Amino acid sequence: MADLKMVETAAAKSAAVAAAGTPLLSVENLQAWYGESHILHGISFNVNAGEVVTLLGRNGAGKTTTLKSVMGIIGKRTGSVRFDNQEIIRASSDKIARLGIAICPEERGIFASLDVRENLMLPPVVRSGGLSLDQIFDLFPNLKERLNSQGTKLSGGEQQMLAIARILRTGARFLMLDEPTEGLAPVIIQQIGHTIARLKSEGFTILLVEQNFRFASTVADRYYIVEHGKIIDGFSNSELQANMEKLHTYLGV
């Protein structure tokens, strides 16, 4: 359990970082429940426009739940989630999506009744500026080859690629990727790393959840540590070395 002091310093730090720009997403005292079990106990963090921020934490800490709460797909949630200066804690997920937030879920969410092309084309374009199909096939050549297979007939890794690819098309500026490297071959992981870097350079903002710390460290600007439904620490990439010790205790890296 994080003691109070730690939380305070963490919050102070993140506030300091946030001050550098206007936060695109700011989450404050977010609480969330699955049925009657209380999962998030007051999450607070910010993501600035153009940043890559990574949530780290043990299995079951509440990282996925945080992303889902921002997306509006957790039944009961309280607190404040502001995106682009708009309060969205009460909004329905289709509205949130239309504001330009897109999620690549942990379980991938490939549709069995749709073929690969349909899966890819499924999310409606919410604004211009998304990747074109050619750009996508450049990134993930596997997909082009299997375009007419049934979505869930793809290999595990191919499904992961598809899940990422389809939200790149939509033009959403704020992407939430839940463990995008899970089950991917090292070559592809490198590719995804490049993709994230490129997206960032093109002005996308990315909120990442990762178990693969090594990978995260190659792309992230800042880190937050989630434990037992709270943010217990946060630091930027430059402070990484200094925090390795702590990271070890948090994550066992």
Partner 1 sequence: MADEFILETHGLTKEFAGFFAVRDVGLKVRRGSIHALIGPNGAGKTTCFNLLTKFLRPSAGQILYKGRDITAMAPADVARLGLVRSFQISAVFPHLTALENVRVALQRQHGHSFDFWRSKTVLDRFNGRARELLDDVGLSEFADTQAVEMPYGRKRALEIATTLALDPEMMLLDEPMAGMGHEDIDKIAALIKRISAKYTILMVEHNLSVVAHLSDVITVLTRGHVLAEGNYADLTKDERVKEAYLGAGHG
Partner 2 sequence: MTVTTDNIIPVAARTVRDEMIAFGIMTVLLLIVPFTGIYPFFVMQALCFALLACAFNLLIGYGGLLSFGHAMFLGTAGYVSGHALKVWGLPPELGIVVGTLAAAGLAVITGLIAIRRQGIYFAMITLALSQLLYFIYLQTPFTHGEDGIQGIPQGYMFGFLNLSNPTVLYYVVLAGFLLGFLLIFRTINSPFGEVLKSIRENEPRAISLGYKTDHYKLLAFILSGTLAGFAGALKVFVAQNASLTDVHWTMSGEIVLMTLVGGLGTIFGPVVGAFVIIAMEQYLAGFGQWVTVIQGVVFVICVLAFRRGIVGEVAHFFRLSL
Partner 3 sequence: MQALYAQLLVGLINGSFYALLSLGLAVIFGMLNIINFAHGALYMMGAFCAYFLLNLANIGYWPALIIAPVAVGIFGMILERTLLRWLTGLDHLYGLLLTFGLALIIQGIFQNYFGSSGLPYSIPDALKGGANLGFMYLPIYRGWVVVFSLVVCLLTWYLIERTRLGAYLRAATENPTLVRAFGINVPRMITLTYGLGVGLAALAGVLSAPINQVRPQMGADLIIVVFAVVVIGGMGSIMGSIITGFALGVIEGLTKYFYPEASNTVVFVLMVLVLLVKPTGLTGRAN
Ligand X SMILES: Nc1ncnc2c1ncn2[C@@H]1O[C@H](COP(=O)(O)OP(=O)(O)OP(=O)(O)O)[C@@H](O)[C@H]1O
Residues in touch with ligand X (CB under 6 A): 34, 37, 39, 57, 59-65, 106, 146, 149, 153-158, 183, 211
User: Shortest Cβ distance from residue 17 to partner 3 (Å)?
Assistant: 28
Cα separation of 82 and 14, whole Å? Answer: 16
- Which does residue 185 bind out of partner 3, partner 2, partner 1, none, counting CB within 5 to 8 angstroms by kind? partner 1
* Selection from 108, 117, 86, 101 nearest residue 174 by Cα: 101
User: Taking CA 64 as the corner, what is the angle to CA 82 and CA 169, rounded to the nearest 5 degrees?
Assistant: 70
CB contact at 8 A, 32 and 64: no
Q: Output the six-digit token pair for 87.
A: 């309060």
Query: Which of partner 3, ligand X, partner 2, none does 29 bind, CB closer than 5 to 8 A by kind?
Result: none
Helix (H, G, I), strand (E, B) or coil at 169: coil
> Exposed, middle or buried: residue 75 (CB in 10 Å: 0-12, 13-18, 19+)?
exposed
Residues 2 and 192: beta-carbon distance below 8 Å: no
Structure tokens of 79? 């607190």
User: If contact means CB under 5 to 8 A according to the sort of partner, which of partner 1, partner 3, Mg ion, none does residue 94 touch?
Assistant: partner 3
Q: Does 124 bind partner 3 (CB under 8 A)?
A: yes
Select the binding partner of residue 65 from ligand X, partner 1, partner 3, none (C-beta < 5 to 8 A, by kind).
Answer: ligand X
185 makes contact with partner 3 (CB under 8 A) = no
Number of residues in contact with partner 3, rule: CB under 8 A?
Answer: 25
Scored b (16 or more CB within 10 A) or e, 98-116 reads ebbbbbbbbebebeeeebb
Binding-site string for partner 2 from residue 20 to residue 49, where x marks contact by CB under 8 A and - marks none: --------------xxx-------------
| 124 interface partner picked from Mg ion, ligand X, partner 3, none, CB below 5 to 8 A per type | partner 3
Indicate whether 94 belongs to the interface with partner 2 (CB under 8 A): no
In the complex, the residues that contact partner 3 under the rule CB under 8 A are 71-73, 92-94, 96-98, 102-103, 105, 109, 111-114, 118, 121-124, 126, 150, 170
In the complex, the residues that contact partner 2 under the rule CB under 8 A are 34-36
